[in-house]
């Protein structure tokens, strides 16, 4: 890539990360409303850990080092928003360190093959599943320090994976008044953030739309509901399918993943056709993790699985475009 275009791309990436941090503010405000000041301190711990780790590791890249580059802090903020409000601070520190090390190991900002926040959160999920997937009820004021000694409950994905339907109302789902990750439940705020990122040019519809369509279409065609035939016709049991889709769309981290994770500028493909294929594959993988696991944030594992293909998709798209161009040139020359 020419130096001028590389500088433009880096500037666009920096803008993306600053906008991600800006969008985290209203989600953090919602978590403060439901859980008190503990989420604010959790976010502070994550951001401080990312900043210190970046200051220590990033200068090792010598000429490629850019001080005050905000991607590590953005990854830390996303990790915190995918945590329960009761998560211990050491889990945030470890997850953030993993994300920063993944980013810097591959050469720093703009070079990592996998979404660092997804890696950090997935490693924490595998290490402490009992901590990361047990949630306090909204309205519970949590202590700032020490162990959180309050009743915890599982998220809606446990019920969905078991073939049932949760009982949360639509209003509660839209406003985030449900048990789940502290930044993934306020659907109206997430949609507003998505609109903001789209206006700013950071949300690629060629990635998000195929991703969401697949996440919605598969449960409609193959509804995982007890007592409902898996291979029933799509026009049968419409009422049950509509209720299922409500919880598929409005609970868990499906929308959060589409808005904040899927369109990361380094890990998603660069070409439009590649992004469409990437979005379809990501939606299929996220749905599979939702069907066969109880993780509310299975989209992180889907990102790690599908993240191996974007560069290959771009190369295949370039090759296909070149072949089309050569065929057109051959036809033109043959006609002449």
**pLDDT, position 31:** 93
Q: How many other C-beta atoms lie within 10 A of the C-beta of residue 11?
A: 10
State the chain's mean pLDDT as an integer: 84
User: In which band, very low, low, confident or very high, does the pLDDT at 184 lie, cut at 50, 70 and 90?
Assistant: very high
Quick one: average pLDDT of 220-228? 86
User: In which band, very low, low, confident or very high, does the pLDDT at 1 lie, cut at 50, 70 and 90?
Assistant: very low
pLDDT tens, position by position, 236-295: 888 988 999 999 999 888 999 999 999 888 888 888 888 888 899 899 999 998 888 878
pLDDT tens, position by position, 111-135: 788 899 999 999 999 999 888 999 9
DSSP letter at 270? S
**pLDDT, position 266:** 86
Judge whether residue 310 has pLDDT over 70: no
**pLDDT, position 331:** 64
- Angle, to 10 degrees, between the axis of helix 89-105 and the axis of helix 38-57? 30
**DSSP track, 48-59:** HHHHHHHHHHGG
**pLDDT, position 333:** 62
CB contact at 8 A, 284 and 218 = yes
Residue with the larger pLDDT of the pair 83 and 309: 83
User: In which band, very low, low, confident or very high, does the pLDDT at 67 lie, cut at 50, 70 and 90?
Assistant: low
C-alpha dihedral, 179 to 185 to 187 to 192, nearest 10°: 150
User: In which band, very low, low, confident or very high, does the pLDDT at 3 lie, cut at 50, 70 and 90?
Assistant: very low
- Distant-in-sequence, close-in-space partners of 71: CB < 8 Å, separation ≥ 6: 13, 14, 17, 103, 109, 116
- Distant-in-sequence, close-in-space partners of 28: CB < 8 Å, separation ≥ 6: 39, 40, 43, 81, 183
User: In which band, very low, low, confident or very high, does the pLDDT at 332 lie, cut at 50, 70 and 90?
Assistant: low
Judge whether residue 312 has pLDDT over 90: no
Record: fold of 3-157+168-335 = Ammonium transporter fold (1.10.3430)
Q: How many percent of the chain have pLDDT more than 70?
A: 85
**pLDDT, position 235:** 87
**pLDDT, position 24:** 94
Judge whether residue 180 has pLDDT over 80: yes
Residue matched to tokens 């789209």 = 198
Nearest one of 332, 183, 329 to 255, comparing CA atoms: 183
Tokens of 258: 């589409």
């Amino acid at each position: 890539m020419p130096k001028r275009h590389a500088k433009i791309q880096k500037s666009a990436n920096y803008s993306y990360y600053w906008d991600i941090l800006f969008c985290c503010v209203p989600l953090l405000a919602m978590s403060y409303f439901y859980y008190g000041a503990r989420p604010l301190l959790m976010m502070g711990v994550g951001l401080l850990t990312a900043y210190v780790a970046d200051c220590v590791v990033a200068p090792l890249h010598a000429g490629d080092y850019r001080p005050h580059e905000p991607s590590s802090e953005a990854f830390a903020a996303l990790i915190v928003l995918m945590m329960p409000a009761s998560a211990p601070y050491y889990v945030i520190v470890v997850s953030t360190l993993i994300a920063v090390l993944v980013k810097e190991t591959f050469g720093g900002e703009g070079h990592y093959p996998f979404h660092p926040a997804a890696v950090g959160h997935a490693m924490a999920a595998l290490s402490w599943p009992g901590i990361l997937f047990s949630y306090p009820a909204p309205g519970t004021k949590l202590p700032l320090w020490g162990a959180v000694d309050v009743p915890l409950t599982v998220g809606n994905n446990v019920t969905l994976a078991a073939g049932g339907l949760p009982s949360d109302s639509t209003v509660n789902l839209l406003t985030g008044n449900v048990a789940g990750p502290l930044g993934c439940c306020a659907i109206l705020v997430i949609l507003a953030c998505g609109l903001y990122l789209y206006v700013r040019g950071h949300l690629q519809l060629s990635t998000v739309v195929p991703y969401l369509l697949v996440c919605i279409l598969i449960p409609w065609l193959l509804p995982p509901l007890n007592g409902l035939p898996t291979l029933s016709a799509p026009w049968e049991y419409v009422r049950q399918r509509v209720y299922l889709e409500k919880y598929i769309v409005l609970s868990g981290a499906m929308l959060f993943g589409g808005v904040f994770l899927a369109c990361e500028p380094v890990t998603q493909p660069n070409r439009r056709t590649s992004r469409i294929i990437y979005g379809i594959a990501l939606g299929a993988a996220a749905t599979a993790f939702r069907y066969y696991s109880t993780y509310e944030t299975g989209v992180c594992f889907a990102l790690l699985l599908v993240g191996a293909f974007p560069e290959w998709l771009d190369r295949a798209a370039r090759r296909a475009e070149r072949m089309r161009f050569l065929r057109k040139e051959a036809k033109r020359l043959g006609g002449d």
